[in-house]
Amino acid sequence: MSFIRFIYVVFIILKFRLDEFFESRFIILIGYLVSPIRAFQSNKINRAIRLRRALENLGPIFVKFGQMLSTRRDLIPQDISDELSKLQDQVPPFSFNEVKKIIEKEYSGSLNTVFNEFNKEPEASASVAQVHFAELKNGTKVAVKVLRPKIAYAVKKDIRLLGWLAYILEIVWSDGKRLKPREVVKEFSKHTDSELNLLLEAAHCSHLGQNFSDKKLLLVPEVFWDYCNEQVMVMERMYGTPVSNIKSLENKGIDIPKLARDGVEIFFTQVFRDGFFHADMHPGNIQVADDGRYIAMDFGIMGSLTDKDKQYLARNFVCFFKRDYRGVAEVHIESGWVPDNTSIDEFENAIRSVCEPIFNKPLKEISFGKLLIRLFQTSRQFNMEIQPQLTMLQKTLLNVEGLGRELDPNLDLWKTASPFLEKWLKEQTGPKNIIKNLKKEFPGLIDNIPKLPKLLKAYLENNHYISIQSDLTNVSSEVKKLKKITGALSVIILCVLISGSYLLLATTLF
């Protein structure tokens, strides 16, 4: 870690009077001693704006950290999260000579041997990479994404610095231990690691493209794997209109309300059908084709959900909108994210107290994302462990809602999503899904059958050893236990046989 860089960060903290966050007289006193002019500075600009400006002064990695922090509304006050959401990842492009040098090094050859044309001016420039349009030798129009020179070193250096600052915050800030800044930095580090490997981003792009291979609602660029590596990604060039340019979309005859509904359907399809979703769906990463289909861009940050996560979310949403707060509390306890000794009555009442006021509004004005935020905030009081994949989902949901209602202020998110969620929940308990799960688990059951006698023997020897000197009562008790175990073993074998029968039936019918 560069000492000079650390000193600069401290200078920015003092310059923007961020020491007030620490609520420590000792730290504030040091601030005045280091920078006496602060004693005469006005503190009229609110803390959220000063924090945003400080991050912008500290550079791209701190800007990205602020963007990520803005999604943790379960941790930070609303005024700060709202202000940090305004951070823009706009960075001056690096020179074409650098671009050429990187590409030729990665391809071990001249730029002209790979491309017929290569636009020297970048189409987009961000903190980690920039994009140029080009044409391959076979005439295919492509977009070429190139990592910034030495960006990996710069990112890791600043993340180490963030780690040290987080450690200091936990010591000097009254809310430091509760808000766990080191945990937040660790989460941020995972996100940036994935963005620094363009092969991983190419895999994300390809995965999403396979999930939407029917191309009915969403277009995903094709990846040209022969030209991809960790530093360079080459994909199909897409032609569309930025989704935020509503006037142009209307002039092209796009059905805007339908576009808003399609966006919601795409999101819930990614989440509940695939368990794999684009986690950076702000307007800058979305375009619209002339026929009204969405075009996805930038696949550096993706989220994934397990079947357990999906069950949790679907049941929560359905219970929420039925005002079944006990159902919400039960889902949390069943999932294991809230300790099982939690008072379900207290938890239900806490959820009711924060969510019931929301339902005084018309359904079309209710925010799914804000519901999740309120839920996470309440759950933390009951020692719920925050799941990173759910905070990514919350951020994405807020983006989707914001975009949907920008396109169509009358969009009723619940009306659009409710049939989708209820259908998905029914499918999970339907015969086809049961048979699908049996097919999935059957090989494991078969593999474990030969181990059952050995496992039973070990269980009896370790837990049910009958001493020769035991009295008849104890012997009788052990015999009863043995009968129960034998009965259980019979049930297990019977389940395996039934599973096999279902599997054979499934193979025949489906």
The catalytic residue among 158, 280, 298, 309 is: 280
**Are 160 and 61 members of one domain?**
no
Q: In terms of domains, do 100 and 230 share one?
A: yes
Q: Which of 24, 55, 89 is the last residue of a domain?
A: 89
Q: Which residue has the higher pLDDT, 497 or 155?
A: 155
Only one residue has tokens 């503190």, namely 43
Rounded-to-integer distance, Cα 400 and Cα 406, Å: 10
**Residue 475 pLDDT:** 47
Residue 74, token pair as written in the block: 């379960």
Q: Express each pLDDT in 265-315 by its tens digit.
A: 999 899 888 999 998 877 778 999 999 999 999 998 888 888 888 888 888
- The confidence band for 386, taking pLDDT boundaries of 50, 70 and 90, is low
Over the chain, what is the mean pLDDT? 79
Looking at the domain assignment, is residue 294 inside a domain? yes
CA 42 to chain centre: 39
Give the pair of three-digit tokens for residue 362: 């018309």
Q: Which of 112-116, 136-140, 185-189, 235-239 has the lowest mean pLDDT?
A: 185-189
Supply the range of the domain harboring residue 488.
431-509
Q: Residue 445 falls within a domain, yes or no? A: yes
| Same-domain status, 253 and 391 | yes
Looking at the fold, whether 26 and 146 belong to one and the same domain comes out as: no
Q: Are 446 and 496 in contact (CB under 8 A)?
A: yes
Is 352 among the domain residues?
yes
Same domain membership, residue 268 and residue 411: yes
Residues 296 and 422 in one domain: yes
Q: Does residue 220 lie in a domain region?
A: no
Residue 354 clears pLDDT 70, i.e. is over it = yes
The answer to whether 345 is a known catalytic residue is no
Q: Domain count of the chain? A: 4
Q: Are residues 120 and 61 in the same domain?
A: no
Question: Does one domain contain both 478 and 377?
Answer: no
**Closest of 503, 497, 465 to residue 482, by C-alpha:** 465
Confidence of residue 44 (pLDDT cuts 50, 70, 90): low
| Residue in the block written with tokens 């259980």 | 488
Q: Are residues 414 and 435 in the same domain?
A: no
In-domain check, residue 387:
yes
* Residue 176 shares a structural domain with residue 248: no
pLDDT tens profile 433-492: 556 555 655 566 566 666 667 666 665 666 544 444 444 445 455 445 544 555 545 545
Residue-wise pLDDT for 391-444, tens only, equals: 778 778 888 888 888 898 888 777 777 777 777 777 776 666 556 555 655 566
* pTM of the predicted model over 0.95: no
Q: Which residue has the higher pLDDT, 386 or 343?
A: 343
322/414 Cα distance (integer angstroms):
11
Is residue 279, in this structure, part of any structural domain at all?
yes
Give Cα 99 to chain centroid, integer Å: 31
Chosen domain end from 30, 59, 89: 89
Same domain, 438 and 423: no
Q: Is residue 216 part of a domain?
A: no
Lowest mean pLDDT among 145-154, 309-318, 380-389, 498-507: 498-507
Q: Is residue 218 part of a domain?
A: no
118 and 247 within one domain:
no
- For residue 282, the SS3 value is coil
